[in-house]
Structure 1
Amino acid sequence: MRKTVSSGWVILVLSGFLSGCATPEVVQSKQVGDSEKSCDQLRSAYVEAQEFEAKARKERTVTGRNVAAALFFWPALIGTYSNTEEAINAAKDRQRHLEKLAEEKRCKLN
């Protein structure tokens, strides 16, 4: 007797691969209350935006998850690349926005 894999198991396995793919957070470049931030708060927000960018760039590198996604479900790898690009650009936009606010307030971010 031959056993067949149910479609439920296939969906479960594929969703496991998809959930394992990189999905770095995409930050909003302008956030409520930015203009009221103190210099210290602007510095902290700037460092956080740099960290978001670094995490997104790291997700773009070759990892075991990305290789598995490429081998078993390549559309997930395309989605990961697209998401990391969006996250990197959003983090850079956030940094530029915070730089502008810091300049207006004569704050130093570094």
Structure 2
Amino acid sequence: MSLPLKSAVLIAITSGLLLGCATSQKIQVVQPGDHNLSCDAIKAELAKLDKAEADIESKKGVTGTNVAGALFWLPGLAYTYYDAGEATRLVNDRRSAMTTLYNNKNCAP
């Protein structure tokens, strides 16, 4: 194998390992304008949080990325789980903030 080809292969493998971590979108717990949300808008936000949590959980299962991480780069797999845990914590904190706002506005269930 020639030197440029070896370099290209090494770069491809390294890139794959670095990009192989599945990351989850992080949600800002308190967002500008939250206090102006209507009861229906708060309910819609809570529904979005449920979807976001389901998306996060889907990255923690047996996925191609996680299998590759387990086989080739264990720290990447560990980071995927850490990242998912952090994203879940933020979703739960946002849900708590939205629930408090919902209750303070005396929204009917």
TM over 0.5: yes
1:12-23 aligned at under 5 Å gives the runs 12-23=12-23
Give the 4+ runs in structure 1 shifted more than 4 A: none
Matched residue pairs, number? 107
Write the distance in 1 (CA, Å) between the matches of 2:108 and 2:86: 27
Q: Deviations over 1:14-68 (max 9, x none)?
A: 3224324311101011111101101111111111111111111111111121011
Normalising by structure 2, what TM-score? 0.87
CA RMSD in angstroms comes to 1.7
- How far apart in 1 are the matches of 2:30 and 2:61? 28
| Equivalence for 1:39 | 39
Distance 2:27 2:108 in 1: 22
Question: Residues 52 and 87 of structure 1 are in contact (CA less than 8 Å); yes or no, is this contact kept in structure 2?
Answer: no
Q: Structure 2: where are the runs of 5+ without partners?
A: none
Query: Contact conserved, 2:28 with 2:90, CA < 8 A, in 1?
Result: yes
CA 72–43 in structure 1, closer or farther in 2 if over 3 Å, else same: same
Counting aligned pairs with the same residue, the percent is 36
Deviation of residue 85 (structure 1)? 0.4
Partner of 1:27: 27
Deviation (angstroms), 1:108: 4.3
The one-letter amino acid of 1:72's match is F
> Which residue type is aligned with residue 47 of structure 2?
V
- When normalised by structure 1's length, the TM-score is 0.86
CA distance in 1, matches of 2:52, 2:108: 20
* Secondary structure of the structure 2 residue equivalent to 1:60: coil
Decide whether the 8 Å contact of 2:53 with 2:91 is kept in 1. Answer: yes
